[in-house]
């Protein structure tokens, strides 16, 4: 989906890093992962700084990642539907969802995220 829609060159943010890492592998490019606070193509379970965020904090961390990487537009890959109502100065639009998978936790919701002025 990302390649078919020419989205692979946009800054990509992944939440719930374990199920989203296969996307980085398929795209053969680093994705910014909220849990570790850095871009990578693979997961290091030994890292003590990994932390999963949910709801409001997940949205806030995504916004901070965009600001610190100086991007106004990103693709946000979640393993659950977006549910934070406050949106923290972000415009968030669902692009596609993939709710069936052989691996139960590899469910994807792909959003377009833009920082509001």
pLDDT on residue 20:
81
pTM value is 0.82
**For residue 79, what are the CA distances in angstroms to 29, 47, 117?**
19, 21, 27
Task: List all residues 6 or more positions away from 74 whose beta carbon is below 8 Å from its beta carbon.
Answer: 10, 11, 12, 13, 62, 65, 66, 112, 113, 114
Question: DSSP per residue over 55-97, as a string?
Answer: HHHHHHHHHHHHHHTT-SEEEEEESS----SSGGGEEEEEEEE
Per-residue pLDDT of the chain (117 residues; tens, 9 = 90+): 999 999 999 999 988 777 787 888 888 899 998 877 888 877 666 555 666 766 677 788 888 888 899 999 999 998 888 876 666 678 889 999 998 877 766 788 999 999 887
pLDDT on residue 58:
77
């Amino acid at each position: 989906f990302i390649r078919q829609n020419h989205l692979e060159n946009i800054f990509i943010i992944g939440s719930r890093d374990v199920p989203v890492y296969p996307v980085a592998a398929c795209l053969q490019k680093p994705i910014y992962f909220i849990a570790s606070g850095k871009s990578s193509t693979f997961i290091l379970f030994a890292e003590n700084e990994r932390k999963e965020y949910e709801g409001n904090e997940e949205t806030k961390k995504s916004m901070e990642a965009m600001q610190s990487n100086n991007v106004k537009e990103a693709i946000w890959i979640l393993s659950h539907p977006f549910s934070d109502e406050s949106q923290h100065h972000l415009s968030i639009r669902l692009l596609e969802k993939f709710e069936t998978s052989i691996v139960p936790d590899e469910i994807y919701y792909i959003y377009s995220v833009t920082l509001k002025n």
